[in-house]
Structure 1
């Protein structure tokens, strides 16, 4: 465990150190996000922070490859280098979008190409939850893997709308999934786990970047960062399937503990939910799924009355609920886990809606008073008419 903490510290430290340099580079080459109608920020802010996170991730991976405890993961295969190569490609694609605002179809084509390359390099879903873990055909494995990677990349990209939001949500998911992969690795002769390694490096670089990205942000991660985060956390979840033997493991054992095909969805529940809502909303209006708007979850939080920091913290809370709530069934009975989930949901719901009701309560009192006055006036008028007739 101490080795993993050291790797996370290296990823975070390197990211934190190089982020100011990347900020100056972004300003120099013109990678500055102008204020658009759908944006929350009010001043032009440099982006391309994903390059700083990539440098932190690469530094931690290179360091890990020299540690005896983990070096076997690099020597036994080329999986780690394929993931790193894919991360570089995803980040470069995002940097191109940060600089030139690529057409969404061109960007999607690039994401698919990178996903197919990574899948072809051996990062694949190798089993499917169909009664028992059934080995999928190579072509089906590549298709499912490419779909999951592209979906996660865009899910994180969709939720990246407030300072620190995407980095915090992915860091929370990385901690939860890192704990899961570490538990899985403990049943093997060696505790070394590629999934855990990716997760701790991911969490480290997110924390290092958050120190510069908290509101008001000095630098945005841009598409280079959001796409990188979605790619890495999905690769970590896919790598875990290499430890599950379809011939010996039944679905009933691992279904409560994240079936491999469900892991990215559960860990990235909020980004996936936001993406699905956006796609349905835009298609119902006859628009492109990538058409921008101000109806994302973070926009709704601001409309309710939250400040940017409070909206981010509450959305982090929802992300932690779904990420760690799924893990609790590994350690406590399902009934207790469900009870805790319900209590936490109620508390987060109150925190989410509090600004709305605080603003609405005086308005509701005024409306009730006006309604009572309107009902009282006809009654007084009628009683006055009756008294005049008696006279």
Structure 2
């Protein structure tokens, strides 16, 4: 665990230190986010935050490859280096979009190239996670791999609409998946606790935490497509590397739930982005528009319409992420009755926060004043 924490801190520190430089470069290049009718920010803001995040990934990757505990992940296969190469590809495509606003076809082509690069080097589904049974053809598994990567990247991109939202949600989800991947490895291999999935999610958490101080309320820089696509690719890669390659039943004996956790947990981690993405696609296609046609009907727009402030809307979506991710992990360790209680209480509290913005604001004011 200490090694993963060290790599996480390296990724966070490098991202944090490189973000001011990325902001300066964005200003010099004119990679700025203008204020449009559908936007919630009120001032022109630099993009290219994803470039600083990529610097954190590269630094963490190079250091991890030299640590004996993790070096085997880089020597035994090409998967680790393929993930880094794909990350560079999507960040480059995103950076070009941050500067020139590429059309959706060009962006999709770049995303597909990165997904195929992952699959070509072995980062792809090899079986269904249920009992490790292979029921799909190699071509179908390849298509499924590419589809998961594309959905993940675009889902994070869709949810990136408020200061600190995408980075915070991905940090929460990444933490949940890291816990799962780490515990899974410890329970299935008594000699080697290194895990590529755990490494990827540790780095993902690190770059999110390193970027957040620059991106919270009144953000000084946006991650842009270069950052949102990078986060989506990293989460997809960590999901693919663990799904179907280790028998999850070993987590808790004959517990049937553990068999489905490799499917459910990635969905839970991406709950907010996938929900927003799915609603947007249905909404836009239903109205005869392209699914990539921008609008002002995302989840955060709806929360603002309910009366939430920008900061409160972010906290509400954080709360939903915590409830879903923790709720999916709990059955592995605690009896079902406690899980049911957590879900009931957690969903109720999240609903109250969602539909009672005035109460949430009053609670924050009492906290700020030090009142109980």
TM-score by length of 1: 0.87
Equivalent positions of 1:18-167 (< 5 A) are 18-129=18-129, 133-134=133-134, 136-167=136-167
Distance (Å, rounded) in 2 between the aligned partners of 1:79 and 1:147: 18
Compared CA separation, residues 358 and 287, structure 1 to 2 (3 A): same
Which of these residues, 302, 314, 334, is aligned with residue 332 of structure 1?
Answer: 334
State the partner residue of 1:387: none
State the partner residue of 1:298: 300
Q: Which moved more, 1:325-334 or 1:241-250?
A: 241-250
Q: How many residues align?
A: 359
Q: Does the 8 Å CA contact 1:12/1:207 hold for their aligned counterparts?
A: yes
What do residues 85-117 of structure 1 show as CA deviations (whole Å, max 9, x unaligned)?
000001001011101111112211221122112
Backbone CA RMSD of aligned residues: 2.3
State the partner residue of 1:199: 201
> What secondary structure does 2:218 align onto?
coil
* Offset, 1:261: 4.2
Distance (Å, rounded) in 1 between the aligned partners of 2:197 and 2:38: 36
TM-score by length of 2: 0.91
Compared CA separation, residues 246 and 222, structure 1 to 2 (3 A): closer
Q: Give structure 1 stretches of 5+ with no counterpart.
A: 360-391
Distance (Å, rounded) in 1 between the aligned partners of 2:9 and 2:264: 29
* Offset, 1:251: 12
Distance (Å, rounded) in 2 between the aligned partners of 1:64 and 1:135: 35
Compared CA separation, residues 251 and 300, structure 1 to 2 (3 A): farther
Distance (Å, rounded) in 2 between the aligned partners of 1:13 and 1:132: 38
What do residues 168-214 of structure 1 show as CA deviations (whole Å, max 9, x unaligned)?
00000100000000011102120111110111111011000001001
Distance (Å, rounded) in 2 between the aligned partners of 1:170 and 1:358: 23
The yes-or-no answer on 1:214 pairing with 2:212 is: no
Q: Give structure 2 stretches of 5+ with no counterpart.
A: 362-372
What do residues 104-133 of structure 1 show as CA deviations (whole Å, max 9, x unaligned)?
122112211221121111001111156763
Between structure 1 and structure 2, the one with the greater Rg is 1
Q: Does the 8 Å CA contact 1:115/1:149 hold for their aligned counterparts?
A: yes
State the partner residue of 2:369: none
* Offset, 1:253: 4.7
* Offset, 1:264: 2.8
Compared CA separation, residues 257 and 173, structure 1 to 2 (3 A): farther
